[in-house]
Amino acid sequence: MPSLTRAEAAERAALLSVTSYAIDLDLTADADTFRSTTTIRFAATAGATTFVEVKPVKILSVRLNGAPLDAAVDDNRLTLPALADGNELVVEAEMAYSHTGDGLHRFTDPADGAVYLYALSFLEEGQRIFACFDQPDLKAPVTLTVAAPPGWLVAGNGELASAEDGVWRFAPTAPLATYFVSLLAGPYHVIRDSHDGVPLALYCRASLAGHLDADADEILTVTKQCLDEFHALFGVRYPFGAYEQAFVPEFAAGAMENPGLVTIRDEYVFRSAVTDTERELRATTIAHEMAHMWFGDLVTMAWWDDLWLNESFAEYLGTRVAAAATRFDRAWTTFGMNRKAWGYAADQRPSTHPVAPDEVNDTQLALLNFDGISYAKGAAVLRQLVAWLGDEAFLTGLRAHFAAHAFGNATLADLLGALSAASGRDLTGWARAWLRTAGVNTLRAAVTAEGGAYTAVSVLQEGATARPHRIGVGLYDRTATGVVLRRRVEVDLDPAATGGTPVPELAGEPVADLLLLNDGDLTFAKVRLDDASAAAVPAVLPALADPLARAVIWSSVLDTVRDGERPVAELVALVLAALPAETEVVVVEDVLSQTRGLTDRYLDPATRPAALALLAQACDRLLAAAPAGGSLQLAAARGLIGATVDARRLRGLLDGAGVPEGIAVDDELRWLILHRLVVLGAATAADVDAELARDRSASGEHRAALCRSALPDAAAKERAWAVLTGAVDASNRIVEANAEGFWQPEQAELTAPYVERYFAQMPEVAGRFNPWLAERVAKLAYPRLAVAARTRQLAADLLAAPDLPAQLRRAVVDADDDLRRALSARG
């Protein structure tokens, strides 16, 4: 299927403008297909020829301006010749349901056999549902009509106008880009509410109804708080009528910002105990998607090269609004610890790219940019911009931007113009350094002292491109009551200062136990501590009161190890010394997760067991100190389960023996324990089957697939490989589970033959899946634990192929770079 190019989109936009879409779907046919009739009204240059996109099983009829059009679909394109000034196109087609999370996804709930549908039109998958001019700058109102089986509920982007005899009619929407069009249909459970004149609704499968009911107050409270905060920030009310959120199964992404009907993966309907980090992630996801109602939906990027106008702003504003308006007031700590680590890693790989590339040539290349740079780095850059411009000027510029482009499209230049006008600052240089240039800077402190006082402190900036940074520099001292901040100064780093930017305010200050660059985490840059501060970290970190400062330190330490500047053994020792005193659950979870990943890849197999024992010991200490029933206790228990090799203890937990007070061995924790037992060779396929019989749910099926793929058994590995390579038909989530569980450090000899099979088969495998799933499988199934020069040579041979799919090339390039680091660390 050809990708729409930027040049083709510009040419088509110059030829036509879309007046309206009417989409009529009949979902009553069978389990494989549905009927779609699309009526598009549009103006065009008389006599011109263009094309409309559609991905049918079969075209039933096409009429252009009342006359039959005898034209075949070429891949996904239907040619429209001899256009008039005003045109009406009617395309009737038979379409296929999807099981990969795109188009109109059909899911049968294993808990009760009920069928659920939902639509994902993102990027270019609306063509699987209706005929359309599929580019973001051809927006138009959409009118939806759906014929559904008896007993089903149907929802869409627009307000419901009527529902009679199984036919659901919706009012026309405000102008939408085609990739926002969505609907859901099935016996969904619904909860309705309203706030400040905005109708609200929550949807989920019937089998999750009790779990959604239990959390509805929290979800609706967060939704209302975020609505109020966005109204106050933007001065523009939510513009799309009702605000409904549907928690849907096997969703390909985290969530999708369809106006009026946001779709969210239903793992956010918690059926077992979760940590506050997971609840906060749900809240920031809600805020993120709501931010899109303005950035993306009200004002839409003209083309995918301005993706940052969508995702960077939603990431920044989602975190900001969650921290300001909800109970999750430490969302910036989570952002600094978790999201920025994603951004730093992405920006150091060979596949890095600018936040706002000069040009994205086609839609398939656009998909590659939905990554840690467009999200995390872009958001961090915006936070830096706000610190530099001032909040009032920033918000004034945003309001002017909305006023100028409401229900239309905009570009980078449009937004920068509004911000420049509001602030009185020329943002050309800032945009060139931060948005148009890839790569991350490293900040180091150059310190001289005499007589116990600083004589000079300056900040050195490393990286291919020096940038303007506004950072905090904090001085922290150990006292009888803990480590406290003595002084903090803000510094504007001069990108032209080759010898570093001096901090004269600190001259004469007594030498601190810890001098922390980027205190407050205002900029996007890696931080390296001076020697004295680095040496003091094991003593300072457990007693440091500020969670954001602790997150900055931990991020610096983890990144230093990832870069090979410090050994993993030193990190493991710090985890044992400092993590049991940690009170911020996201810090515990991220430190354990990242350390475990580095232990698995950077340590020689002979030394790894000793490191795991120390990690398990750290978790045991935290488990003993954490309040019963709280998030810290649960995070410590999960960390212990993942690190321990004591199968007898794990089996006891599964049977209810030795369970700490406050821990519930519920569905999700049982699967986590069983997975670890499987990896250790202490549980069998029969154990997995028995657990699935006890937990006959969609989540149970996914967890069982993960466990089965991790079984240390040749036949089990072969079955898992068949699923993850598409040789066996399965839904997107089951495919991902098999890829995720396949490689285990304990099973290197068993999985060794699959290293070469990955590189031999992946080009064909990538062609079996849609681009989104192909990239996920390529990443998850990569032999990341085969840390050997041979693996890198196989990667190089594959990358030499000229026609490699873009998603596979990106996955292999990045994974190979991670392997390069691991090999270097082992050396």
- Domains of the chain, by residue range, sit at 190-293, 299-325+335-434
Asked if residue 624 lies in contact with residue 661, where contact means CB atoms within 8 angstroms, the answer is no
Identify the helix (H) or strand (E) that includes residue 685: helix 685-694
**DSSP per-residue string spanning 185-240:** EES-EEEEEEETTEEEEEEE-GGGHHHHHHHHHHHHHHHHHHHHHHHHHHSS---S
| Exposure string over 379-395, b if 16+ CB within 10 A, otherwise e | bbbbbbbbbbbeeebbb
pLDDT of residue 430: 95
pLDDT of residue 1: 63
How many residues would you count in the chain?
A: 827
User: What tokens were used for 681?
Assistant: 């060779």
> Of 124, 280, 289, 584, which is the active-site residue?
289
Pairwise CA distance, residues 148 & 167, whole Å: 6
Asked if residue 377 lies in contact with residue 335, where contact means CB atoms within 8 angstroms, the answer is no
Tell me the β-bridge partners of 77. Answer: 53, 74
Q: CATH topology of 190-293 equal to that of 299-325+335-434? A: yes
Asked if residue 20 lies in contact with residue 140, where contact means CB atoms within 8 angstroms, the answer is yes
Residue 102's CB is within 10 A of a number of other CB atoms, namely: 24
Residue 785's CB is within 10 A of a number of other CB atoms, namely: 21
User: What tokens were used for 467?
Assistant: 């940038």
* DSSP 8-state symbol, 14: H
Residue with tokens 């239990």: 214
In terms of C-beta density within 10 A (0-12 exposed, 13-18 middle, 19 or more buried), how is residue 530 classed? middle
Pairwise CA distance, residues 523 & 380, whole Å: 6
Give the closest residue to 821 by CA, choosing from 451, 505, 560: 560
Question: Which superfamily does CATH assign the domain made up of 190-293 to?
Answer: Neutral Protease Domain 2 (1.10.390.10)
CA-based R_g, the chain, Å? 27
In terms of C-beta density within 10 A (0-12 exposed, 13-18 middle, 19 or more buried), how is residue 763 classed? middle
pTM above 0.85, yes or no: yes
- Residue 661 bears catalytic tag: no
Residue 423's CB is within 10 A of a number of other CB atoms, namely: 18
* DSSP 8-state symbol, 261: E
Residue with tokens 């945003």: 398
Identify the helix (H) or strand (E) that includes residue 676: helix 667-679
Integer distance in angstroms from the first to the last C-alpha of the chain? 45
Sign for the CA dihedral angle at 177, 179, 180, 183 comes to positive
* 299-325+335-434 topology per CATH: Neutral Protease; domain 2 (1.10.390)
User: What tokens were used for 746?
Assistant: 């304990």
Across the chain, which has 827 residues, the per-10-residue mean pLDDT values are 92 98 97 98 98 98 97 94 98 97 97 98 97 98 98 98 98 98 98 98 98 98 98 98 98 97 98 98 98 98 96 98 98 96 96 96 94 98 94 98 98 97 96 96 96 97 93 97 96 92 97 98 96 96 96 97 96 98 97 98 96 98 97 98 98 96 97 98 98 97 98 98 96 97 97 98 95 95 98 98 94 98 94
Pairwise CA distance, residues 385 & 430, whole Å: 9
Q: In sequence order, what are the residues at sequence separation of 6 or more whose Cβ sits closer than 8 angstroms to the Cβ of residue 91?
A: 36, 37, 38, 40, 52, 54, 59, 61, 62, 78, 130, 131
pLDDT of residue 2: 80
Strand ordering across the sheet containing 482-493: 482-493, 469-479, 514-517
